[in-house]
Amino acid sequence: MEQLHDLRVSRIIRLPSPGELKANLPVDERVAGTVTGSRREVEYILSGQDKRLLVIVGPCSIHDVASAREYAQKLAELRTELQHEFCIMMRVYFEKPRTTVGWKGFINDPHLDDTYDIEHGLLHARKLLIEINEMGLPAATEFLDPISPQYVADVVSWAAIGARTIESQTHRQMASGLSMPVGFKNSTDGRLGVAVDAIRSAMHPHSFLGIDQEGYSSAVTTKGNPFGHLVLRGGPKPNYDAESIAAAEVLLAKAGLQQSLLVDCSHANSGKKHEQQGTVWNNILQQKIAGNKSIAGVMIESNLYCGSQPFPEDRDKLMYGVSITDECISWDETERMLREGAAMMRQVIQ
């Protein structure tokens, strides 16, 4: 009889189970304290009990562990310095959605050479997340593959469902079981309704196929996630201005949801030009000073050095600390923006 399955599969490599990876790279009390404490901070900010601004800032994607670690050390110091105005988390993105094809991120291809050493990617992604949390710096990421959270979600304090997966039932189900607050981005064409639908869906219990800590196929039943919220990332036109924020507030209110949202300073809101992120940032802070209550946080794409560099490219030719995906602002610019922004936020908090 002819083969009926795996006709277009070239190889299958068995990976360690989530439980095995966690046993190899366990979480200690300090890391657990960073994760649980920062998750609670985000919940208080989203509910309006904490007047600070959530700031999720860091590289568009992680491709080099050494530069990510250096960035984290700098950001950890700034988090402590500005803790009264901001709840700062590092953007630590290991998975990259693609419209067609391209590099899918560190977990999928950590060596940047199409060898797809996923076991290495999972191991070093978890190791880096633990190291960052050991600094007292919480981590934020986007979950793209529905299996990867089992390996790393326990060391993540905020998660995103991206613009390209916002209508996916799989991702809404996954979000309903995640242990941290989840931000849902508006779609790439600018629609907010699909993100609102996703928030409402993830608030409810779901049952679906997944894997357990031993890696066995399992029927997973979730409780629902009460801390879903909208992330405005722009579309054919930016949506960070006061008029767009007001429209989002109305939509959230009509859906019976908390009028609490984040604004992405990058992506379509900046036209993918790193120089424009500062414009969005300043506009948001001015709206906060003017009395806006719904903007709970912002996202900023930042790296050690500004801009981006072409990829794919020979890894030996890549510049240290420069993004290989979207353009980022430099660390110096990040530091300046956050310090100046903290001075503005004192007018809101006092």
In tens, the pLDDT along 284-340 reads: 999 999 999 999 999 999 999 999 999 877 788 899 999 999 999 999 999 999 999
> What pLDDT, on a 0 to 100 scale, did the predictor assign at position 314?
78
In tens, the pLDDT along 125-143 reads: 999 999 999 999 999 999 9
Nearest Cα neighbor of 22 from 13, 32, 14, 12 is 32
What is the C-alpha radius of gyration for the chain, rounded to an integer number of angstroms? 20
| Cα distance between residue 1 and residue 3, in whole Å | 7
pLDDT-above-90 percentage for the chain: 93
Confidence of residue 233 (pLDDT cuts 50, 70, 90): very high
Confidence of residue 35 (pLDDT cuts 50, 70, 90): very high
State yes or no: pLDDT of 180 exceeds 90. yes
- As a whole number, mean pLDDT of residues 174-199 equals 98
Q: Where are the alpha helices (DSSP H) in 269-327?
A: 277-289
| Cα distance between residue 226 and residue 231, in whole Å | 16
> What pLDDT, on a 0 to 100 scale, did the predictor assign at position 350?
74
> What pLDDT, on a 0 to 100 scale, did the predictor assign at position 312?
79
Output the six-digit token pair for 309. Answer: 């560099």
> What pLDDT, on a 0 to 100 scale, did the predictor assign at position 138?
98
For residue 175, the Cα-to-chain-centroid distance in whole angstroms is 13
Output the six-digit token pair for 247. Answer: 């429209």
For strands 182-185 and 228-232, give the pairing: parallel
> What pLDDT, on a 0 to 100 scale, did the predictor assign at position 313?
73
> What pLDDT, on a 0 to 100 scale, did the predictor assign at position 326?
96
> What pLDDT, on a 0 to 100 scale, did the predictor assign at position 1?
84
Confidence of residue 259 (pLDDT cuts 50, 70, 90): very high
> What pLDDT, on a 0 to 100 scale, did the predictor assign at position 208?
97
Lowest mean pLDDT segment, chosen from 30-34, 93-97, 236-240: 93-97
Which domains does the chain carry?
18-47+66-349 (3.20.20.70)
**For the chain, what is the mean pLDDT?**
96
Beta partners for 183? 160, 229
In tens, the pLDDT along 47-68 reads: 999 999 999 999 999 999 999 9
Single-letter residue type at 76: A
Q: Are 39 and 179 in contact (CB under 8 A)?
A: yes
In tens, the pLDDT along 96-127 reads: 887 777 899 999 999 999 999 999 999 999 99
Confidence of residue 255 (pLDDT cuts 50, 70, 90): very high
| Cα distance between residue 65 and residue 190, in whole Å | 33
Residue carrying structure tokens 């997973």: 220
> What pLDDT, on a 0 to 100 scale, did the predictor assign at position 328?
98
Confidence of residue 206 (pLDDT cuts 50, 70, 90): very high
State yes or no: pLDDT of 6 exceeds 80. yes
State yes or no: pLDDT of 41 exceeds 90. yes
> What pLDDT, on a 0 to 100 scale, did the predictor assign at position 2?
85
> What pLDDT, on a 0 to 100 scale, did the predictor assign at position 203?
98
Confidence of residue 179 (pLDDT cuts 50, 70, 90): very high
| Cα distance between residue 93 and residue 143, in whole Å | 8
